[in-house]
């Protein structure tokens, strides 16, 4: 029996390996895989099996996946390339006899207007069409995504955005990784879809107040229009594509796409999700 964790050289995959170990999975039952295998040396020293894979190179996938009880497919980080990469993974998983795929998707990926949803929607369908039993972990936003916002606010005293009064039910990567470990090793998760989110949906006024507490200075939320936001971001040096993505995401937040607090993450991990303040403090400490 083995549990394969992809993206183990990245944040979420690495945390999923640590969660498996913490929950009592024997190291030799875990296969941690990623592009730069040297980053996995410390895991190998602890008895975890490691292997180098690359989503873009199908020939690297099969041996690592062979006969896995469950494969955690951590979605690729390269927007626009995910579908091709994930197709390679699902195809290799089927050929290798993987018993179940656990995929880190996006909130309501099959129906949402979220700018990130389309590639996740296609991937979910690829997995369904493969015939392999699956578990879909539709992760809401990561609290750690706002560390750069915190650092900017530390300097300027403002959080600038076009999300209006929208709310974000974020949780930490560690929270989501813990859920992944639960469903990888547990029973009753075949063909399940979980809408995972933090227990509290916070506003950007609340984000600003939380940052103020952490950095020890007054911080306010400056709500701007999408057009103003785009101009601010491009003037700061972001390319138009990236700036447009940020503005589109704030629009999704404004429309409520990340506001749901389903309670399903809390239920899977058996504890409250990490608060916004605790999550940001932990990210800074890391």
Residue 282 backbone phi and psi in degrees, to 5 = -65, -40
DSSP summary character for residue 110:
T
pLDDT at position 74: 97
Whether 161 contacts 204, CB under 8 Å? yes
Domain that holds residue 229: 142-170+198-260+272-286
pLDDT at position 137: 98
Q: Same domain for 21 and 123? A: yes
Q: What is the CATH number of the domain that holds 285?
A: 3.90.25.10
pLDDT at position 79: 81
pLDDT at position 91: 98
User: Element (H or E) spanning 205, and its range?
Assistant: helix 204-215
Q: Same domain for 211 and 224? A: yes
Q: Same domain for 93 and 127? A: yes
Specify the pTM. 0.96
User: Any residues with CB less than 8 A from the CB of 49 and at least 6 apart, and which?
Assistant: 2, 27, 28, 30, 31, 32
Alpha-carbon separation of residue 47 from 27, 44, 75, 138, 208 (angstroms)? 5, 5, 25, 30, 43
Q: Same domain for 96 and 161? A: no
Provide the residue-wise pLDDT of the chain in tens; the chain has 286 residues.
Answer: 799 999 999 999 999 999 999 999 999 999 999 999 999 999 999 999 999 999 999 999 999 999 899 999 999 988 888 999 999 999 999 999 999 999 999 999 999 999 999 999 999 999 999 999 999 999 999 999 999 999 999 999 999 999 999 999 999 999 999 999 999 999 999 999 999 999 999 999 999 999 999 999 999 999 999 999 999 999 999 999 999 999 999 999 999 999 999 999 999 999 999 999 999 999 999 7
């Amino acid at each position: 029996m083995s549990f394969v964790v992809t993206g183990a050289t990245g944040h979420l995959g690495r945390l999923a390996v640590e969660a498996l170990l913490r929950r009592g999975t024997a190291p030799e039952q875990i296969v941690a895989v990623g592009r730069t295998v040297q980053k996995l040396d410390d895991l190998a020293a602890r008895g975890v099996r490691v292997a180098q894979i690359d989503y873009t190179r199908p020939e690297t996938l099969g041996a690592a996946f062979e006969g896995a009880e469950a494969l955690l497919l951590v979605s690729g980080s390269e927007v626009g390339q995910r579908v091709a990469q994930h197709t390679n993974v699902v195809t290799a998983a089927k050929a290798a006899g993987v018993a179940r795929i656990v995929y880190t998707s996006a909130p309501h990926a099959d129906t949402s207007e979220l700018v990130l949803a389309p590639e996740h929607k296609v991937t979910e369908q690829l997995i369904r069409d493969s015939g392999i039993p699956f578990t879909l972990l539709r992760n809401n936003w990561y609290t750690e995504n706002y560390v750069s916002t915190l650092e900017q606010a530390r300097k300027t005293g403002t959080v600038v955005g076009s999300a209006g009064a929208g709310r974000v039910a974020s949780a930490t990567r560690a929270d989501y990784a813990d859920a992944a470990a639960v469903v990888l090793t547990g029973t009753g998760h075949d063909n399940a879809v979980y809408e995972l989110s933090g227990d509290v949906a916070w506003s950007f006024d609340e984000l600003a107040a939380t940052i103020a507490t952490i950095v020890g200075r007054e911080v306010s939320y400056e709500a701007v229009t999408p057009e103003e936001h785009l101009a601010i971001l491009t003037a700061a040096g972001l390319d138009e594509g990236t700036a447009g993505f940020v503005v589109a995401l704030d629009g999704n937040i404004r429309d409520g796409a990340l506001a749901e607090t389903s309670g399903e993450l809390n239920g899977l991990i058996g504890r409250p999700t990490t608060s916004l303040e605790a999550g940001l403090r932990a990210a800074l400490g890391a």
